Structure 1
Amino acid sequence: MNSSSIFRVIRQFRNIRNEINIHEFHSITASRNCLQIQTNCSPSYILPNFNRNTVSIVIRNYAKGKDRKKEKGVGKVVINENEMAQLVNVDSLKKQMESPISLMKESFIKNLSLRSSAGSIESLVVTLDGEEHMLQELAQISRKNPKTVILNMATFPQAIPEVLKSIQNSGLNLNPQQEGTTVFLPIPKVTKEHRENLSKNAKQLFIKCRDSIKDVQNKTIKSLKRKDGVSEDLVRNIENQMKALGDKYISEAEKILESKQKELLGD
């Protein structure tokens, strides 16, 4: 059977497939007098009037889109913690993957508020002489009125440059104004641009979280491959389960991100 005959066979098969609603089949076999179509779920179908030497054509599954969706879950990795425990400390692994999500959620609360609360400002991290401090440890924080926060830096005036840098990099959309050892923080109006900037900051925090989970995943997988006297099939199976576990936590973090972005953007 030459190539033009093959294509003609396939075209004719597709026409019949549409009429009889065949979604899966194994092969098409052309013999001297007919064409036989072998399916997965029904008897063979015959197309007559083919006078060629016998030849088999194995063709991919032409399942319709809706059938592909149904088959999407086929081959999904099942996470078996008992099996994983043979080579991995599962509790420790889960805690390591949960930790970045907890940090991301904490950062969302502290740093991504539509209204820059005093709590968010107090918990800003300031690096001074190589050590990290919360802003409330270095300054007396008060409110002059609902629209202005005041930082009294008289106790640690040497920290003012680092405090200003921390505030500007906080993502809180604050524009500090210094007068001597006092720093004034006008609370900005909530604008569309401010909302979009906060949403971008949320995405960056999610990426950091995702990468941390992948780092835990990859580090543990590398340790698996260094184990001696262990079946390669077992290692491969547990490696796939670990990847699925990491994807599960990343998916959880992504849902938290989506929820936060809707809140920030007002969707």
Structure 2
Amino acid sequence: MAEEFELDVADLERRMDGAMSALRTEFASLRTGRASASMLEPVMVEAYGQKTPINQVGTVNVPEPRMVTINVWDKSLVNATEKAIRDSGLGINPQLNGTIIMLPIPELNEERRKELSKVAAQYAEHARVSVRNVRRDGMDRIKKAKADGMSEDDQKFWETEVQELTDKFIHQVDEALEGKQAEIMQV
């Protein structure tokens, strides 16, 4: 008699949730025409001989809907911070005012909105692929257990569990994408 097979569904769910977290982080970095401190999260500043997140070299504030300010703590890092923002590909032109860097957020044109919408779709597709990879891993474990003597009823039960979990996370990815695209296209 084969030993009782127990698939770690919590582990699969945790890994799929990780894909959702990564998607939310990527979506937060997409500019939607509104100022947001999270849009600067991917920006790394060359500080003290290493790459440092921008929020570790200064205070990031959003004083008004179309303005982000960064109060750089170390005067010697102001130019490096400004350069990192210019090179980040955010499409924002920083303005210096002493140790404060102001980032006016320009209005998005229709072409840029469509472009950002496509980028959001790419991010969502990467998340779907990650979720499917976790699903494949779970299904492979089930097939291995089947080869080791698991009953067909148990196999069907676990495959259904994994598929339902996958469907749930794919639906979450699709909903997040719809929301982000609506936010991007909103004028």
In the superposition, the TM-score normalised over structure 1's length comes to 0.51
Residue 177 of structure 1, CA deviation? 6.5
Please give the root-mean-square deviation of Cα atoms over the aligned residues, in Å: 3.9
Cα deviation for residue 206 of structure 1 reads: 0.8
Number of aligned positions between the proteins? 179
**Structure 1: distance between partners of 2:68 and 2:21:** 28
For residues 23-80 of structure 1, the C-alpha deviation after alignment (integer angstroms, 9 at most, x for no partner) is xxxxxxxxxxxxxxxxxxxxxxxxxxxxxxxxxxxxxxxxxxxxxxxxxxxxxxxxxx
2:176 paired with 1:253 = no
Taking the aligned partners of 2:135 and 2:83, their CA distance within structure 1 comes to 35
In terms of fraction of residues, the more helix-rich structure is 2
Aligned residue for 1:230, secondary structure, equals: coil
- Aligned residue in 2 for 1:98: 17
2:123 paired residue number: 205
Q: Share of identical aligned residues, percent?
A: 24
Of 145, 164, 167, the match for 2:88: 167
Q: Which one scores higher on RCO, CA 8 angstroms, separation ≥ 6?
A: 2
Post-superposition Cα deviations, 1:127-156, rounded to whole Å, max 9, x if no partner, equal 759976421212455689876545547343
Counterpart CA distance in 1 for 2:142 and 2:50 is 36
Shift of the 222–166 alpha-carbon distance from structure 1 to 2, 3 Å rule, reads farther
Matched, 1:224 2:145: no
1:239 corresponding residue in structure 2: 159
- Distance in structure 1 (CA, Å) of the matches to 2:24 and 2:83: 25
User: Per the alignment, in what secondary structure is the counterpart of residue 156 of structure 1?
Assistant: helix
Partner of 2:108: 190
Structure 1 residues 87 and 188, CA, compared in 2 at 3 Å: closer, same or farther?
Answer: same
TM-score with structure 2 setting the length:
0.69
CA gap 1:112/1:104 in 2 versus in 1, 3 angstroms: farther
